[in-house]
Amino acid sequence: MKVLVIGGGGREHAIVHTLKKSPKVDHIWCAPGNGGIAAEAECVAIKATDIDGMVAFAKEHKPDLVMVAPDDPLALGMVDALEAAGIRAFGPRKNAAIIEGSKSFAKDLMQKYNIPTAGYAVFENSADAIEYIKKNGAPIVIKADGLALGKGVIIAQSVDEAIEAVKEIMEDKKFGDSGNNIVIEEFLTGPEVSVLAFTDGKCVKPMVSSKDHKRAFDNDEGLNTGGMGTISPNPYYTDEIAKECMDTIFIPTIEAMNKEGRTFKGCLYFGLMITPNGPKVIEYNARFGDPEAQVVLPRLKTDLVDICEAVIDEKLSDLDIEWDNGAAACVVMASGGYPVSYKKGIEMFGLNDNGGVDGATVYHAGTKYENGKFYTNGGRVLGVTATADTLDEALEKAYAAVGKISFEGAHYRHDIGKTK
> Residues interacting with ligand AMP, by CB under 6 A?
118, 141, 143, 150, 153, 155, 185-188, 192, 214, 224, 271, 282-283
- We find the least distance from the C-beta atom of residue 312 to ligand AMP, in angstroms, to be 28
Q: Is 212 in the site for ligand GLY (CB under 6 A)?
A: yes
CA angle, corner 98, sides to 92 and 103, nearest 5? 140
Among residues 289, 378, 383, 417, the one that binds ligand GLY under rule CB under 6 A: 289
H helices present in 169-297, as ranges: 239-245, 251-259, 293-296
Q: How far is the C-alpha of 83 from the C-alpha of 67, rounded, in Å?
A: 12
- We find the least distance from the C-beta atom of residue 214 to ligand AMP, in angstroms, to be 5
Query: Using an 8 Å Cβ cutoff, are 391 and 208 in contact?
Result: no
| Nearest residue to 304 via CA among 44, 87, 28, 9 | 28
- From ligand GLY, ligand AMP, none, interface partner of 351 (C-beta below 5 to 8 A by class): none
Q: Is 210 in the site for ligand GLY (CB under 6 A)?
A: no
- We find the least distance from the C-beta atom of residue 333 to ligand AMP, in angstroms, to be 21
Strands (DSSP E) along 52-191, which ranges?
A: 65-68, 89-90, 120-123, 140-144, 153-156, 182-186
- We find the least distance from the C-beta atom of residue 213 to ligand GLY, in angstroms, to be 9
Q: Is 146 in the site for ligand GLY (CB under 6 A)?
A: no
Q: Interacting stretch for ligand GLY, rule CB under 6 A, among 79-87, 114-122, 289-297, 324-332?
A: 289-297
Q: Is 47 exposed, middle or buried (0-12, 13-18, 19+ CB in 10 A)?
A: middle
| Nearest residue to 379 via CA among 409, 341, 408 | 341
Over the window 9 to 28, marking each residue x when it contacts ligand GLY by CB under 6 A and - when it does not, the resulting string is --------------------
Cα four-point dihedral sign 315, 208, 107, 172: negative
Among residues 91, 101, 116, 150, the one that binds ligand GLY under rule CB under 6 A: 150
Q: Is 285 in the site for ligand GLY (CB under 6 A)?
A: yes
* 185 or 212: CB nearest ligand GLY: 212
- From ligand AMP, ligand GLY, none, interface partner of 225 (C-beta below 5 to 8 A by class): none
Cα four-point dihedral sign 183, 188, 190, 196: negative
Cβ-based neighbours of 278, under 8 Å, separated by 6 or more: 116, 244, 248
Taking each continuous run of H as one helix and of E as one strand, the counts in the chain are 13, 24
- We find the least distance from the C-beta atom of residue 119 to ligand AMP, in angstroms, to be 9
Over the window 245 to 284, marking each residue x when it contacts ligand GLY by CB under 6 A and - when it does not, the resulting string is ----------------------------------------
DSSP 117: B
- From ligand GLY, ligand AMP, none, interface partner of 292 (C-beta below 5 to 8 A by class): ligand GLY
Q: How far is the C-alpha of 287 from the C-alpha of 296, rounded, in Å?
A: 13
Among residues 80, 260, 292, 309, the one that binds ligand GLY under rule CB under 6 A: 292
Compute φ and ψ for 221, nearest 5 degrees. -105, 165
Give the pairing type, strands 182-186 and 140-144.
antiparallel
Give the pairing type, strands 266-275 and 348-349.
unpaired
- We find the least distance from the C-beta atom of residue 201 to ligand AMP, in angstroms, to be 24
- From ligand GLY, ligand AMP, none, interface partner of 187 (C-beta below 5 to 8 A by class): ligand AMP
* 227 or 379: CB nearest ligand GLY: 227
- We find the least distance from the C-beta atom of residue 384 to ligand AMP, in angstroms, to be 22
* 214 or 262: CB nearest ligand AMP: 214
Neighbours of 319 (CB within 10 A): 18
- We find the least distance from the C-beta atom of residue 74 to ligand GLY, in angstroms, to be 13
Q: Is 227 in the site for ligand GLY (CB under 6 A)?
A: yes
* 194 or 404: CB nearest ligand GLY: 194
| Nearest residue to 418 via CA among 157, 194, 230, 216 | 230
Binding footprint of ligand GLY on the chain (CB under 6 A): 150, 212, 226-227, 285, 289-290, 292
